[in-house]
Structure 1
Amino acid sequence: MRDSGDGLRDLYQEVIFDHNRNPRNFHVMEDASDHANGFNHLCGDQLTVFVKVADGVVQDVSFIGHGCAISKASASLMTEAVRGMPVDEVEALFENIHAMLTEAHPDCDLGKLEALSGVREFPSRVKCATLAWHTLHNAITHAGDMAVTE
């Protein structure tokens, strides 16, 4: 008999595989209000996140780049999650994602982003999962530096 945790783990893995194979919002945004580049020195993931912010709200977000399945899936899931969110809520979500991956699970519903929780079992992959989030942070705060996961 399978543990119900196995079924949830399988579902999360399928979400990661799906977003890696068919990344959402994977394109250059020509009318972005800002963008930022990110690089994970550990495994070579590179991406650019484009964002259109108006009146303190993320109106649109996309990304391009290459990297491992977790990096690409995390970026894809992120773009779906933050579209339409106020910038301060995006920053709070980033903190909750980071906590889920490195500490304890936050007391909030993260929806599909929960699929990333399995990465916590593989500390070397946490940087893959957080790269897009660090890069988005740099884009919405107009930080000029390359986002890195060091």
Structure 2
Amino acid sequence: MSFNNLDTLYRQVIMDHYKNPRNKGILEDDSLTIHMNNPTCGDRIQLTMKVEDGIVADAKFDGEGCSISMSSASMMTQAIKGKTFEDAVKLSKIFSDMMQGKDYDDEIDLGDIEALQGVSKFPARIKCATLPWKAMEKGINESEQ
């Protein structure tokens, strides 16, 4: 597949998650709630996670922002469900490395998340993509205390 076709496919995946977000909403009950925003561009997210015995049993997000931040939140909530804290944080590290243009562990299937790799070419947009991941890490850190 040529680079242009791959780029088009990635854009389509990002727009699909933006227009049809997965896990959009708020978990009630005893869920962990994290609010974060990116004051530079106005993106904001509320991430709620149901945590059971060190596992992310469920995750949802709400908020507003650009297609990159909202798509990233949709992809991230899909990816971390059912993961241990350790695996969720490892996935976040891989995502961070990918956003910074570093080599990352490509043994792990990132699924739709891989569509965001082109964001690394636009430094101003990296914060948009990483906002939901930082919220997740913050939530895990808070729940372990």
Shorter-chain TM-score above 0.5: yes
Q: Note the C-alpha offset of 1:31.
A: 2.4
Tell me which residue corresponds to 1:71.
69
Greater RCO, 1 or 2 (C-alpha within 8 Å, sep 6+): 1
Give unmatched runs, 5+ long, in structure 2: none
Distance 1:39 1:66 in 2: 10
RMSD: 1.3
Post-superposition Cα deviations, 1:67-119, rounded to whole Å, max 9, x if no partner, equal 00100000000011110111100001100000000132312232211011010
Distance 2:4 2:19 in 1: 22
Post-superposition Cα deviations, 1:5-24, rounded to whole Å, max 9, x if no partner, equal 11111111001001111111
* Ranges of 4+ aligned residues in structure 1 off by more than 4 Å: none
Q: In structure 2, the residue corresponding to 1:31 is in which secondary structure?
A: coil
Distance 2:101 2:15 in 1: 24
Tell me which residue corresponds to 1:146.
none
* Residue-pair matches, total: 141
Tell me which residue corresponds to 1:139.
139
Check 1:13–1:105 CA distance in 2 against 1; reply closer, same or farther (3 A cut).
farther
Letter in 2 for 1:61: A
Q: Which shows bigger deviation, 112-121 or 101-110?
A: 101-110
Give the TM-score, by structure 1 length: 0.89
Distance 2:56 2:105 in 1: 24
Letter in 2 for 1:52: K
Task: Verify: 1:82 aligned to 2:93, yes or no.
Answer: no
Contact 1:71 1:131 (C-alpha < 8 Å) held by counterparts = yes
Letter in 1 for 2:118: G
Identity value in percent: 42
Give unmatched runs, 5+ long, in structure 1: 144-150
Alignment of 1:100-139 (within 5 A): 100-108=98-106, 109-139=109-139
Which residue, 9, 16, 34 being the options, matches 2:14? 16
Check 1:32–1:24 CA distance in 2 against 1; reply closer, same or farther (3 A cut).
farther
Contact 1:51 1:140 (C-alpha < 8 Å) held by counterparts = no
